[in-house]
Chain A
Amino acid sequence: MPKIPGIRRGMPHEVGLGLLTLLLLALVTTAFPRFLVIDNVKSLFDDTALLIMLAVGEMFVILTRGIDLSVAANAALTGMVVALFNAHYPGAGIVPVLVIAIVMGAALGLVNGLLVWRVRIPSIVVTLGTLSVYRGCVYLVSGGAWVNSGQMSPFFLSFVRVPILGVSVLSWIGILVAVLAWAYLRYAISGRNLYAAGNNPNAAAYAGIDVGRMQCLAFVLSGAIAGLAGYLWVARFAVAYTDVASGFELQVIAACVIGGVSITGGVGGVLGVVLGGLFLGIIKNALPVVGISPFFQMAVSGLVITIAVILNAGTYRKSHGRKILERSEATS
């Protein structure tokens, strides 16, 4: 068998993507110096913080050869629940809101995780189902009504907007999640096990790692981050309704894929995902500045994603087939 060239042969994926992102930024800025105005950069960070957070959560799942299509629905449901909680108990303060968001998001992730781990349903089937169920539950808990900014208390809305060192709390939370995730994957034993479980489930099982449990853990982490992002989303846009973040899961997965996370598991890192999220965010924010109709936005990001996956295709050659849709061999 000929040796199959891997991505590690040349420069790391992150360097290339980083240079590409800088190039994109330079291109837009030279043509339109307005783009790098402080206000615009701030809103760029705020916009991409949510995408990056959700993509980091998604990365945990993809690393273990799974996929989580329910992140956006999870965020919508959690966001609606905390908005309703806030409307009923306006004086409760920010701490219970954050706790509810994270715990509830993690619980929704645990449902996915247990179905994948214990019932052994492929993750794409599970999250395809919970995607509809969670989205429907948003309607059930809200009765189809919107929760508007008038029903939200001031602390609920202003928490994400408080500037610290010139950057909003929302962006800081995004940075914090990314740094924590990086440290966790780099230094924690269970973080290393996530890579092992995704890279070679059989070998991981022989090394004493419970692969199913790692998959479940990844779903819980992804869910907890999605829950937190749900509150942040609702607070940032000051409205909660049934279709919040509808279809956002695909952008989240796209950020991971552009960031070099291999859909076949075990390959990828936080830095790449952050760059992938920034890359998509810059394109999204640059289009109106450059003067392209917002209706072209989807086509352009679709084109970028398609080109990115073709360029990344070498990463996937290490294994054939779509591992993401298989049950992990070691658990059966």
Chain B
Amino acid sequence: MSTISSSVQAGTANGCGVTWRKLLRWETLLGLVVIADFILNTRLSSYFLDPWTLSDASFNFTERAIMALPMAFLIIAGEIDISVGSIIAMASVLMGLVAKAGFGTPLVCVTGLAVGFGAGCFNGLLVTVFRVPSIVATIGTLSLFRGIAYAIIGDGVLKSYAHNFAYFGQGYVWGPISFELVLFAVLAVLFGIVLHWTVIGRRIFAIGANPVAARLSGIRVDTYKFWIFVLLGTVSGLAAVLLTSRLGSTRPSIAMGWELEVITMVILGGISIDGGQGSILGVVLAALLIGLVTFGLSLLNVPGIVLAIVTGTLLIAVVAISSLIGYSGRRRRH
């Protein structure tokens, strides 16, 4: 079974078509673009090819990349969650309160994960029990969760974190390899294995490709969707721990607009917004690509808001290319 572009409605390509299509695979293209950008960055800036510079670059996108993994699950299953940035804000504020009350680092981390878990449960309930379309439900919770963060601390700031808390976002495991990067690599492998080599993964693809057929063939569609929402919420809580630890402080405007950047990573990674198709490898490559492009440009003193143009154009351009030439990696609707 191909681990890549493993759609339930896998094409019936044969003969020379197979090799040609494999060459044209989404992940191959992304990989080439990543390499091209890497070389370009090296040429443009003499500071780029330094282990510590590259390590710094990784801090720019690892938190978002970690969130992109469960987001990929959710989009493959045919749902979407745009409240993830707000979950980070709410989790971070509550972690700040716990730290302010004088509790140690373990409880602060547990708080972050628990808030994420709870928020994920709430989103999951709205979608699976109350039958609210996920985009509408999470627009509501986007305001609600961040609103709670604002209601709790207003325009204040929480920064009474213990010293050892800084390790999660600033620590290094070995040399210039950061804790965040290792965590991302481990999670990426874990998510990849679950999605591509287990029954759970096959069922997620089946749910996204055709929820009705999946239900009729005995898959508990709603249970799966609920737990993917919970997973995404919990990982957002984890991202809140990492981000809060890296910044060392909490404001309610933390991680504003991250939902769009995370979704951009997932779509760029070749996950079909229609559900039922994509691979974790693609998401990882897309995360690397966005990280490299934005870091390379900021080395050249391009302001952050202009990077938004680049990311937006990149998203539309790659999806347009795939749509226009009808990639095998992307399912066409008939």
Contact = CB atoms under 8 A, between A and B. Distances in A.
Contact of B309 (A126, A140, A250): A140
B274 A325 contact: yes
B277 to A, nearest CB: 13
A291 interface: no
A67 interface: yes
Contacts of B275: 325
A305 B315 contact: no
A332 B334 contact: yes
Interface residues of B, number: 56
Interface in A274-326: 293, 295-303, 305-306, 308-310, 312-313, 316-317, 320-322, 324-326
B135 A302 contact: no
A38 B32 CA distance: 64
B150 A313 contact: no
B68 to A, nearest CB: 14
A256 to B, nearest CB: 10
B80 interface: yes
B311 A295 contact: no
A322 B147 contact: no
Interface string B118-136: 0000000010001111111
A136 interface: yes
A125 B309 contact: no
B154 to A, nearest CB: 4
B211 A115 contact: no
A71 to B, nearest CB: 14
A327 B326 CA distance: 14
Nearest to B252: A295
Interface in B138-166: 139-148, 150-151, 154-155
Nearest to A301: B143
Given A298-B143, A309-B140, A325 B135 contact: yes
Given A132-B309, A329-B333, A305 B324 contact: no
Interface stretch (B21-29, B180-188, B235-243, B260-268): B260-268
B199 interface: no
A132 B257 CA distance: 10
B264 A128 contact: yes
A309 B132 contact: yes
10 contacts: A115-B316, A119-B320, A126-B316, A139-B303, A295-B150, A301-B143, A302-B144, A320-B212, A324-B135, A325-B80
Given A132-B308, A298-B146, 6 more contacts: A119-B320, A128-B267, A129-B319, A132-B311, A139-B305, A308-B140
The 5 lowest CB-CB distance pairs between A and B, nearest first, are A299-B147, A302-B143, A302-B144, A132-B312, A136-B309
